Amino acid sequence: MNLRNTLIILLFLAFSCKNDSGNGDNKINKNSSNKIQNVYYGYTLILNAVVKEDDYFLINYITEYEDKKFIKNNVIEVKVNGSNTIQKIEFKIPDDVTELHRLRFNFGRNREQKSVSFKNITIKKNSKELILDIKQIKRFFISNAYLDIDYENGTFTLKENQGEYNPFILSKWSLWSLINKSLG
């Protein structure tokens, strides 16, 4: 058999094989609007907090351990309606995200937002959940120059710094180990 015929047979075999992972695990239903339907991945992050002014909160996430920078494709923005009571602020991570290596919570654009009072952060994956209270938030996150944090009361005071406003907390790499251990 000559090289041309061998190449044609190889191409035929390559394109006629099904793209099947084998056992049917890890199927993702893209049309599910982030509802779990035979989905083995998919994270939901919930901030339980008092946010008194209307605002938009963002979460950035890194999905690969080697990645060191946040990219704009991995951002979820949620509108928050101001309230004096604790509310659940949910961020639904796309179903195809299988690991969360680093998280960054941005506390809005509204410069009139003077503070946010936290109860906890919940990270869910399928039926499992990890709840980080204020002490664990202190252990697994660092803040930037636009935040003053009172860990005793769970109050994050948002502020300008040199005319700029960008308050956020950034997870330490050790949070990934905790997520992986707790949520599998």
Residue spans of the domains in the chain: they are 42-183
Question: Using the 8-state DSSP alphabet, how is residue 15 labeled?
Answer: H
Q: N- to C-terminal Cα distance for the chain?
A: 50
Model confidence over 86-132: pLDDT tens digits? Answer: 999 999 988 888 888 889 999 989 999 999 999 999 999 988 999 99
pLDDT for position 184:
77
The Cα–Cα gap between 113 and 156 comes to: 10
- Closest residue by Cα to residue 169 from 150, 148, 143: 143
Is 0.85 surpassed by the pTM of this model? no
CB contact set of 109 (below 8 Å; sequence gap of 6+): 55, 56, 165
If one compares 12 and 5, the residue with the highest pLDDT of the two is: 5
Model confidence over 22-52: pLDDT tens digits? Answer: 333 333 333 434 443 444 348 999 999 999 9
